Amino acid sequence: MSTGFSVKQKSIYCAELERITGRQSWDVTSLAAKVGWTGLPNHDPVVITLSQVLSMLILSDAMRHHLEADAIVKFIPNLRNEALIKLGSELTHWYVEANSSGEREFFQLFYADDETVRQRVSRLLGCSLTQTTRELLFYSQSDVVCVSNNELHSARRTEYPRFFVDSHDLAARVLDACGPKLFTAIAWAS
């Protein structure tokens, strides 16, 4: 009998969101609504998932560079996927709710080369490796360059972008603010 795993992302509260985004609570509420939070402002506490936090960070950074949300929103899923996979690829970022054999089976997912671990983690998190962006270089509304991990070292930059996002920097910011345990793997027998 083998063990399957479902994943629960850490929930992030308003105070942490204020610290991560550098914005006040009313602004955090507005950003949260843009990434799918459905609570009532001033009535419900803002509690969102790690995926939504990453989306909020991208929007917040874009707003600081005076970009409209519509200009960046289509790039968010691929940046978020890469950041999630980066965070999920570290065993130290996981809690495991399983018996000892389930724990062993889960830990074995991380004993492989980096690319194999990325593939396994992407499946766990429901992210497609073909839909990831390592860096987004935003020169103008019509000139946006998406750089994958494979292209990172070969991408030539002849001019500086107006705005850029590195998904691994996003992951590091979330890790610094939220601590090391970001995911819970819950075992079930298959």
pLDDT computed for residue 186 by the predictor: 96
Question: Can you say whether the dihedral through the CA atoms of 60, 62, 68, 72 is positive or negative?
Answer: negative
CB 157 within 8 A of CB 135: no
What are the pLDDT digits (tens) for 168-189?
999 999 999 888 999 999 998 8
The β-bridge relationship of strands 183-189 and 94-97 is: parallel
What are the pLDDT digits (tens) for 113-124?
999 999 999 999
**What does the alpha-carbon distance between residue 158 and residue 161 come to, in Å, rounded to a whole number?**
9
Q: What share of the chain is helix, strand, coil (3-state, %, to 5)?
A: 45, 20, 35
pLDDT band at 64 (very low <50, low <70, confident <90, very high): confident
**What does the alpha-carbon distance between residue 124 and residue 70 come to, in Å, rounded to a whole number?**
30
Name which of 76-85, 123-132, 155-164 the model is least confident about: 155-164
What are the pLDDT digits (tens) for 6-19?
999 998 888 888 88
Domain boundaries, the chain: 3-76+87-125+169-189
Percent of the chain with pLDDT over 70: 92
**What does the alpha-carbon distance between residue 172 and residue 130 come to, in Å, rounded to a whole number?**
22
pLDDT computed for residue 136 by the predictor: 92
Q: What are the DSSP calls for 85-116, one per residue? A: HHHHT-GGGEEEES-HHHHHHHHHTTSS-HHH
